[in-house]
Structure 1
Amino acid sequence: MYTGLQHLHSYMTYLVLAGVLISLLVALAGWFGNKPFTDKDRKLGLLGLIPTHLQWVIGVILYFVSPLGLDGATEGFMKNSVSRLYVLEHPLTMIIAVVLITIGYSRAKRMVGTGNGFKSIAIFYGIGLILILSRIPWNAWPGN
């Protein structure tokens, strides 16, 4: 079970990054193009939101079944950069990123018909994407 979840979590990252990036690019184009935020644009925002939430759920499950997750929070784990990444930095940063992406989408869906929906998605998804990229364990990335 653990190995399957680990692989799913690793490869699902591609969907998360693609979805958030597509949503971000659409939002930037709409924002800087002074276009009205439509229901179609709101649905495109879901390309970033849904995979991010699914990835978060898989990550929470993995955190509790993985030896690198909660079980790794032993005495002195903060002195070990790999343990600190998996036990604290990666989960905390990803939770913040998911919250920001959720806030960006939630604000935007109430702004259909205005241009501010694009701005909300662009800012919150952009910050979320930076956070996600900053705490992906690149050394464990599939293919390395």
Structure 2
Amino acid sequence: MYSLLLFLHSLGRWAVLGGLLYGIGRAYQGWVGGKAFSAHDNATRHTVATLAHVQLVLGYALYFTSPLLKTFRFRDAMHDPGTLFFGFQHVAAMTVAVVVLTIGSALAKRQPTSPTQFRTMALWFTAALLLIFLAIPWPFSPLANRPYFRFPF
């Protein structure tokens, strides 16, 4: 179960990043280009937020079934960057990132004009992307490095 969750969460990372980059691209093109906020843009906004929520739920499931959490003590983790990262920093930053993305999605949906919809989506989604980039355990990260893909075997 744990290895399957780890695989799905690893795979979901790329779906979220790809969707978020696509959504940000559409938002900036629409904002700068003065385009109308179309049904496709709205579907993109909604899909990106949904992907992020699914990824967050997978992450929570992984977090609460992780062997790390059973032995995690914040006081002890302060001396181990990897334990601190997965025990606290990763889950906290990703939760905040998804909250930021959700707020941006909801605000963009409720804006009265296309330029403000695109601007809202672009700015909030970009802020969420920056938080996500900081909290991903990249292979080159000094905090906790993991491979680009985790396989269940």
Q: TM-score if structure 1 supplies the norm length?
A: 0.92
Look up the match of 1:140.
146
How many aligned positions are there? 143
Identify the residue that residue 71 of structure 1 maps to in structure 2.
Answer: 70
**AA partner of residue 21 (structure 1):** L
Q: In the alignment, which residue of structure 1 is the partner of 2:39?
A: 39
Q: CA deviation at 1:24?
A: 0.5
Matched residues in 2 for 1:43 and 1:136: separation?
A: 26
Deviations 1:56-111 (A, max 9, x none): 0000111110013x324224112110001001110000001000100111001112
Q: Deviations over 1:102-142 (max 9, x none)?
A: 01110011126431011111111101111111111112133
- After the TM superposition, list the runs of 4 or more consecutive aligned residues in structure 1 that deviate by more than 3 angstroms: none
TM-score norm. by structure 2 comes to 0.87
Q: How does 1:7-26 map to 2 (within 5 A)?
A: 7-26=7-26
Worse-superposed segment, 45-54 or 125-134: 45-54
> Does residue 129 in structure 1 map to residue 151 in structure 2?
no
- Letter of the 2:132 partner, please give it: I
8 Å CA contact 2:104, 2:121 repeated in 1: yes
Q: CA RMSD of the aligned region, Å?
A: 1.6
Q: Is the 8 A contact 1:90 1:135 kept in 2?
A: yes
